[in-house]
Amino acid sequence: MAEIPSVIPTEVDPAAHAGDRIGVRPPRTRAWRDGKVEAEGFPVAEISDYLGKPDHVVWLDLCGPDHEGLRRVADELGLDPVAVEDAVSRHERTKLDRYGDYAFLNVYSAECSAEGDLVLHEVSAFVTGRALVTVRQDTGFDVDALIRRWDDTPAIERPELTAHGVPYLLYNLLDMVVDAQLDAVEMLDAEADELGDLVFDDTYPVREVQRRSFNLRRNLASLRRVALPMRELVNTLLRRDLAIVETPLVPYYQDVYDHAMRVAEFTDGLRDMVGNLLDTRIALQGNRLNEVMKKVTSWAAIIAVPTAVTGFYGQNVPYPGYDSHWGFVVSTAIMIICSVGLYVVFKRRDWL
């Protein structure tokens, strides 16, 4: 297929079709026939016309639609109001629901920002026999990359894939989402390695370690919450009784499932690693505190010797050498010898 130009041919022209102004971006439409693109950028109202033609598959993408805008699409495709409500609601959990002859799913693509924060992009999809409707809550999910994935599998080269219509389109969507989650967890793993180096650094920047460890645990918890259910979601799609995934596509969905399992195992292992890092940080802080206390105690013991000697010779009663010069010399020698002796002993024991 031809490379997608700089203009966006899949977008519906809002000037020509004012009624299709749904969401924060114009809807994007495309129709395939036998794995080949037949039309794109057509009005939403024409979706039913293409679905009325045999061997046609339709894709519709909406970005940030409100309830009223999505309801118009629901009326066009006969979607359940409950599923529509889930699609426009934010922060729905990762799930797959079955509604008669179609399914609704909600997933999250993930990425790490330049500041190291995890950013999640919510994507919902209605999966019917010959139509795929994707609903994005924001523009963060790269739908152009998804289109490129579809276009990189020409029907003439891989007819056994492209001929399967909606299940093939859905496979690319899920594969892209899981790959993004895997990239995100690998970046979090790199952050954990850097944090481990800081924990054992001689300078030990306490505030930086505390800040980065808190951010890492928060990001990991957020990713784990949306990534773990992906295993169940893909496994449900593979069930034969649902008849969503056709047999030739099973190995491809199995590959997505394996990647989802890898993300889940990666997050579990990383969570344990972060927990061990925090335990190590606490133990090292305790060891550093003990070192400080040993040094303070050692210096206090050294200072106590001259204090004791001067206190003894400071009594208001006669003592040996009270009225002679040698008494001062002896007391000074005792303070110096004892202090130096204690310093040497503590230094040899690595207390100072």
Residue 181 has pLDDT above 80, yes or no: yes
Q: Break the chain into its structural domains and give their ranges.
A: 294-348
Residue 136 has pLDDT above 50, yes or no: yes
How far is residue 87's CA from residue 170's CA, in Å, rounded to a whole number? 16
How far is residue 186's CA from residue 22's CA, in Å, rounded to a whole number? 36
Residue identified by tokens 């895997």 is 182
Tens digit of pLDDT for each residue in 16-31?
454 556 767 889 999 9
Instruction: Give the pLDDT of residue 158.
Output: 55
What's the pLDDT band for 163 if we cut at 50, 70, 90?
Answer: low
- Where helices occur in the chain by DSSP H, the ranges are 47-51, 67-77, 81-88, 143-151, 159-162, 166-199, 206-227, 229-237, 250-313, 325-348
Q: Which residue has the higher pLDDT, 286 or 5?
A: 286
| Coil, strand or helix at 66 | coil
Per-residue pLDDT averaged across 195-203, rounded?
78
Residue identified by tokens 């009270």 is 322
What's the pLDDT band for 286 if we cut at 50, 70, 90?
Answer: confident
Give bridge partners of residue 99 from the DSSP assignment.
Answer: 102
Tokens found for residue 67: 């309830």
Q: Which of 99-103, 128-132, 242-246, 255-259 is the most confident on average?
A: 255-259
Per-residue DSSP letters for 12-58?
Answer: --TTT-GGG--BSEEEEEEEEETTEEEEES--GGGHHHHHTSTTEEE
Instruction: Give the pLDDT of residue 321.
Output: 62
Instruction: Give the pLDDT of residue 31.
Output: 92
Positive or negative, the Cα torsion across 201, 207, 213, 215? negative
CA atoms within 13 A on the CB side of 304: 7
Q: Which residue has the higher pLDDT, 165 or 127?
A: 127
Residue 305 has pLDDT above 80, yes or no: no
How far is residue 149's CA from residue 256's CA, in Å, rounded to a whole number? 15
Contact (CB, 8 A) for 178 and 263: yes
Instruction: Give the pLDDT of residue 329.
Output: 79
